[in-house]
Amino acid sequence: MATLVGSDDNMKGKYVVLDTTVGSTRSVAVPQLSGHQGDAGRVVYLAIQDGAVPHNMDGQKLVLKAKDASGTPKVSDTMTSIISSSGGLVEFTVPSQFYQADGPYSTAYFEIRSTTTDTVISTINVSFEVLESATIMTTGQSEVYNNEMGNKMESINASITNQLKALQDQVDTASTLAKTAQASLDAITAAAKANSFATLSGDNTYSGNNTFNGTTTIENLSSPTIDSLKNTLTNNINAVSNSVNSQLAGKLTVEENWTRNYTLGGAFTAPQGGANQFALSRYKIMDGLSIITGRGDLVVNSDNEYFEGTITLPWIVDNADTAFAQMYWDSKGDYTYTLPHLGVWDKTLGISMKGKRNNQTCRLSLVIFTTDR
C-alpha cells in the first residue's frame, strides 16, 4: 500500500496552498489530488499565493499537466470556478482520466495562464499518486487525455465555420451584383441600339422621342454616357472581386515548405542518395494554430522488437499538441506499429515502433497540430 505524504503547513482551511515562489526543483505535495484507480474524478480547493500574498486570478486560469506512472500524458483545464479572484481561491475538478494507471505521477504541475493571450504566467510543481484499486476489475490501459486541446479545436472549428460562412455570403452578394450589373449593361446597350438610324445613309440627330420596332443592328456605337456607365459598372465589379479575393487570401499560408532542417537519432538515419528523403512543411491555418506535416523515406535499423527513433524538428512542440504518424515498410503498403510522442516544450519528437528492421528504407507520414511558438 502506497503512503500519501502531506503537510498541514500548506493548508488554509479546506484550501491547499500553491506558492508561485516555490523553486522549480521543489514540488508541493497535494494528497487531495490522490485517489484510487477508477475514481470518477476529484474536486480540490486551491489557494494560489505569491509567497504570503494571495495571487490575483483576474483574467487567469489553471491548467494541470502531468505524466502518470505509465508515462501517459494528461492535460486538463477544468477549473470549475474562481471562488475569490483577489484571494486566489479556486475550485478545480480533476477528470477521471487522471486515475487510470496506479502509482505516483512522474511529472505534474499547475500552469497559471492568461485567458486572453494564453501565455504561461507561472508554473507550480505538485506531487500526488493513484492507489491500486481494491476490486478485481481494472480500468484498462491508461490513455492520453487532453481536454485543453479539444476545447481549442472546438473554438477554432467554430471560428473557421463563421469565417467561411461570411465569405460565402460575400460570394453570393458578389454574384448578385454581377448579374445586376450585366442586366443593367444589357438594358443600356439595347436602349442605345433603339435610337440608331433615321436613314440608311447620312448623319442623323435625334432630339425627340423615337420608337423603333423590329431588330436593330449597329456596327459601331459611340456614346460618352454609355462609356461612363460601362466604366462605372466595370469598376464596381472589379471592386467586388478584389474584396472577395482579399477575404480568401491568407487563410492557409505556407510558412516553410519542404525543409530537411532536422536531425535524426535513435533507430533513424537518412537514406543515401534517395530522391524521396523525408522532408517537413509548416502551414499556418490562422492566428495561434499551425500544422506541421512530413513525408518521405527514412532508414530504420534495430535488432530489438520494440525500439524508438527520434526527429529533432526546427520548431518547438509540446505534449499539449496532437501528433499522428504512420510508417510504411514495403511497396505493398504494409505498415508497422508507429506511436509518436512529444516532450514538454521541446523540439524532439520520439516515435516508438515494433518489428525488427535491418537497415530497411521505410516511408514515414507525420502530422502535428501545434500552437504558434
**Beta carbons of 342 and 310 less than 8 angstroms apart:** no
Q: Quick one: residue 88, left, alpha or beta (phi over 0 = left, psi -120 to 50 = alpha)?
A: left
Structure letter (DSSP) for residue 56: P
* pLDDT tens across the length of the chain (373 residues): 333 334 556 889 999 999 999 888 899 999 999 999 999 999 999 999 999 999 999 999 999 999 999 999 999 999 989 999 999 999 999 999 999 999 999 999 999 999 999 999 999 999 999 999 877 455 457 788 887 655 655 565 566 667 767 767 776 776 787 788 788 777 767 765 665 545 566 677 777 777 877 787 777 777 788 778 778 877 876 776 566 455 545 555 666 678 999 999 999 999 987 678 999 999 988 778 899 999 999 999 999 989 999 999 999 999 889 999 998 877 666 667 889 999 999 999 999 988 888 888 889 999 999 988 8
pLDDT of residue 160: 61
- Locate 203 and state its grid cell: 448623319
Coil, strand, or helix at residue 340? strand
Give the whole-angstrom CA distance, residue 244 versus residue 238: 10
pLDDT of residue 286: 79
pLDDT of residue 21: 92
pLDDT of residue 138: 52
- Locate 278 and state its grid cell: 523525408
**Residue of 94, 100, 108 whose CA lies nearest to 130:** 100
Instruction: Please list, in sequence order, all residues whose beta carbon lies within 8 angstroms of the beta carbon of residue 287, skipping any fewer than 6 positions away.
Output: 372
pLDDT of residue 345: 93
Structure letter (DSSP) for residue 356: -
Q: How far is CA 73 from CA 32, 106, 130, 341, in A?
A: 20, 10, 14, 9
Q: Alpha helices, DSSP H only, in 49-193?
A: 147-193
Q: Residue for cell digits 486570478?
A: 57
